[in-house]
Amino acid sequence: MSTPTPPTKPPLLEVRNLSLSFHQQEQVAIDRVSFSITAGSTLGLVGASGAGKSSIARAIMRLIKPDSGEILFKGKNIFMMNSQQMMATRQRMQLVFQEPFTSLSPRRTIEQSLLEPLQHFAIGDTNSRQEKTRQIIQTVGLDHDVLRRYPHQLSSGQQQRIAIARALITSPDLLIADEAVASLDVSIQAQIIQLIQSLQEELGITLLFISHDLAVIRQIANDVAVMYQGQLLEQSPADTFFSKPNHPYSKTLLSFTNNKAPTSLPVENWRLDRGRTTAETTSNCVFARSCQVKMPICDQLEPASHQIQYRNQHPLGPHYVKCHLYEEVNTNDT
Amino acid sequence: MMGGAWRRLKSDRYGMTGLFIVIVFSMVAVCVWSGLLGQGWSDVSGNRWESVSTTHWFGTNLLGQDILQRTLFGTATAFEVGLLVTFCSTLLGTVMGALAGWYSHGWLDEVILWLKGVLDSIPFYLFAAAVAFALQGIPWAMHLAMIITFWTTTARIIRGEVMRIKQREFIEAARAIGLPSIKIIFRHVLPNTFHVLLVQASIVFVAAINTEVILSFLGLGIQDGVSWGLMLAESSQEVLAGHFGNFVAAGTSLFVLLMGFNLLADALQDALDSRRATA
Amino acid sequence: MSCHALKVNDLSVWFETDSGRRQVVDHISFSINAGESTGLVGESGCGKTMTALAILGLLPTSGVGVSAASIEINGKDISSLNAAQRRAVLGRDIAMIFQQPGTALDPVFTIGHQISAVYRRHFGGSKKHLWQIMLDSLEAVGFSRAEKIASAYPHQLSGGMRQLAMIAMATVCNPVVIIADESTTALDNSTKSLILKQLERLQLQHKTAILLISHDLAMVRQSCRNVLVMYCGRLLERTDCQSLYSHAQHPYSAGLLSCIPQVSANRPPRISAIPGQVPSATDLPSGCHFAPRCIRVKPQCQQSVPHFDSEDDRAVACFRPLS
């Protein structure tokens, strides 16, 4: 189940130095973010709301244009593709959204919604398309009779299954789930997690799973990347992350999930869900203001992303931390 | 979705009254167009200012023309103006509003907003007079003036709706598969503005009929045929002389039809309210 | 009997529709002691919010029917009050915290204005006094610079801070009962924890009774002593939180518990889920409503409704409870 993918496998998706600011709100959404996902594995992107997770998803889907950086899909930069190549690439990656109800066109039947990608990419003929919708409906665990219904006639769990079905109908290689279970009840959330897990096993699909909920990430991800105010602060294999988180922010996040909230923190200091404006300097560590183990240097110098070296353990994958604390202990066995 | 709306409309007594009135009037209009009614509107069939009788139910006018015939024909005129103006201005407003909303804050939006701003800032009757004057002799001058000015409200409403809808995730989903904008607008955005459009169209219809009456009264209205506005214009002299035929017939028809339409529009708004539809 | 801060007796809510009555709350009874929190849990569409709105008397009058033997706050029945009398009770004796702090606050007034308006409505007082009361309530929920928050408009605050302001508004009159309806669902885990902590602290101070409505058992566990499990308008289990987590008796409660993903150093086992979905109120299954989704179902379950003892501290409505 958690078999680590051999490091020799080429990444399906690689994001290099991606940056994006929303000029109207003067807000930094993504700040020099780099990561890669190996084919067939799952990267859990975690962070508070407003940390820039969704912006990354939308940049990968080419729904928004980043200021700089590269996104490589199967080794090819998607910003350098011509329209034909882009069309082919779009077919290979799909997105599932947070709100199941608003992610389906309200005045189109489920069947019309499912057929649309097939028609657009000109996959198969009319009969095979209809066959395919029936198949996919079964794959996501629904009955054929939902095909004729409208989104508002379905429950939120069913709607989310349809949204997943629509994403899967073109048999993509990469599925991006942007808070896909966040607005669902725990019981339905569990069903959808189950579904995604079994689909991944069946189809060998690569997954970028975005969530603010570490417990959900724990269920699904092989690797974890922690995002804060547009930057990636820590990146590591999930097993390492959950047994030994390194970055102070990761530790804070994990402490919250264990239901131990520090009461000492004054309310105004929860800047967890506030963005950073372009005017704010980037010459310090972004987390410095809320960090409980802050050192003088944190206010002056932005830390680089260090790879943690493990002496004894065999690493499941590289482990990066963007924190001054780990500069000295770089070579030690942490 | 539409089934629920119809059910809600059906249970609305005022709405159904409005619908009944509108249907009666539109049947009259259809009958006029197909030559069954009101064909004698220009015939002189009696003496001047005859009072109410079995041959002339509403009496006759200055020239001895039958007022009933003229009222019936006026109904057709009202519908002709209403339908034509509503259709054209709604179409224009929808396209402009959709483009402006979809490309909001872009140059196209700026241009459309500027155009709308200019048109909205000109006093309407002045503008209509100018258009009517410029297009003297062309029978559609009044219609054109109305279309040019009426689309702006529809465009503003549609623009807002489109800006709201385009942030929904199903639009992003459509963009994510690379669907071209024009397809997204027509397939995913505009169908969701249908309920607003229907209500707005009914408001434009009322406004068009109203405006026709006023423009005709001012002498800027229709050139060929008879309308309630022309009848009211005639009556302004007659009322002083104590002849109320034209005034009562045209005024009552106008009032009843507009009220019917307003009742229907209100009921439609309630019935199509998407919040109630999803609840 | 009078020791209960909130006592709900035989409450039912139904919708009148074209196709007949839709029972959304089905004869439920429960009580909360002063200073205690009770969680009301269940999936969406189980009637939790309807229960809350019915207690407060906030349901629309047309198309909705409500009946209750009694709804008592500190022994005083509020179910038979008229609209004006009820308004005098709302906010003073019983307050509600809603799910969306963004829409529950009026965007055109400052936070301070909105909070003091609640207090003025019930107790009046001078401007200065009101201002002080309002600042105290903001400080009580954890704002250290209350003046700044008081003069802010809702859109200037983050979601978590808005929710805290809502709590300040709900607690300004020191109500006997607070009903919190999914009030932290829309927030991050970290913010959620902090808010629950603040609510807990206030409760200890003022001996408030809290009815915490949520679909999230993990959250209820964190902050409640007792828990009520609701499904399709009926209560299925009542127990204290500890025993629910150590050994839930109703298969539905057990199913809900198994849905909660866990954070652990080692990779957790595959999550399990309750199969199927909540039936719609128009075609509820006969007998035990949960029977079609239950793994322990037996023929009896589909024929008759299991008894739910409304007096006992621990009760379960099941023919084959887990033990």
Instruction: Give the Cβ contact number of residue C9 at 10 Å.
Output: 17
What are the chain A neighbours of B1 within 8 Å (beta carbons)? Answer: 106-107, 150, 152
C-alpha–C-alpha distance, residues C224 and A108, integer Å? 44
C-alpha–C-alpha distance, residues A181 and A196, integer Å? 10
Q: Which of residues 142-181 of A touch C (CB under 8 A)?
A: 155-158
Q: What is the pLDDT of residue B162?
A: 94
Taking the CA atoms of chain C, what radius of gyration do you get in angstroms? 20
B278 pLDDT more than 60 = no
Average pLDDT over residues A55-78: 91
C-alpha–C-alpha distance, residues A216 and A229, integer Å? 21
* Residues C33-42: tens digit of each pLDDT: 998 999 999 8
**Neighboring chains of B (3 or more beta-carbon pairs < 8 A):** A
- For residue B279, the chain A residue with the least C-alpha distance is A152
DSSP letters, B200-261, are HHHHHHHHHHHHHHHHHHTT-S-SSS--HHHHHHHHHHHHHHT--HHHHHHHHHHHHHHHHH
**pLDDT mean across residues, chain C:** 86
- For residue A84, the chain B residue with the least C-alpha distance is B178
Inter-chain CB proximity B173 and A91 less than 8 Å:
no
CB A146 within 8 A of CB A138: no
* Residues C295-321: tens digit of each pLDDT: 888 888 888 888 888 777 788 899 988
- For residue A154, the chain B residue with the least C-alpha distance is B278
Inter-chain CB proximity A266 and C44 less than 8 Å:
no
A332 pLDDT more than 50 = no
Q: CA end-to-end span of chain A, whole Å?
A: 27
**pLDDT mean across residues, chain B:** 83
A222 pLDDT more than 80 = yes
Q: Which of A95, A105, A168 to mutate to test the interface with B (most CBs of B within 10 A)?
A: A105
* Residues C114-135: tens digit of each pLDDT: 999 988 888 888 889 999 989 9
Q: CA torsion C88→C89→C95→C98, rounded to 10°?
A: -60
* Predicted TM-score (pTM) of this structure: 0.81
What are the chain A neighbours of C277 within 8 Å (beta carbons)? Answer: 155, 157-158, 188
Q: What is the pLDDT of residue B84?
A: 92
C-alpha–C-alpha distance, residues B178 and B181, integer Å? 9
Instruction: Give the Cβ contact number of residue B70 at 10 Å.
Output: 29
- Which of A186, A257, A259 is nearest residue C217 as measured by Cβ atoms? A186
A59 pLDDT more than 60 = yes
| ipTM value greater than 0.95 | no
Q: Which two tokens stand for residue B23?
A: 């249907």
Q: What is the pLDDT of residue B21?
A: 92
C-alpha–C-alpha distance, residues A324 and A299, integer Å? 11
- Residue of A157, B42, A201, B180 lying closest to C274 (CA atoms): A157
DSSP letters, A186-229, are HHHHHHHHHHHHHHHHHH--EEEEEES-HHHHHHH-SEEEEEET
A315 pLDDT more than 70 = no
Confidence class of residue C265 from pLDDT cuts 50, 70 and 90? confident
- Residue of A258, A183, A187, A158 lying closest to C254 (CA atoms): A187
* Residues A147-174: tens digit of each pLDDT: 999 998 888 888 999 999 999 999 899 9
Low-confidence winner among A255-259, B152-156, C136-140 (lowest mean pLDDT): A255-259
C-alpha–C-alpha distance, residues C303 and C297, integer Å? 11
Q: What is the pLDDT of residue B112?
A: 92
- B188 interfaces chain A, CB cutoff of 8 Å: yes
- Residue of A253, A246, A267 lying closest to A218 (CA atoms): A253
A114 pLDDT more than 90 = yes
Domain B2-32+80-277 is found in CATH 3.30.565.10: no
CB C321 within 8 A of CB C252: no
Type of residue numbered B170: F
Confidence class of residue A224 from pLDDT cuts 50, 70 and 90? very high
Q: For C94, phi and psi rounded to 5 degrees?
A: -140, 130
**Tokens 């002498």 found at:** B219
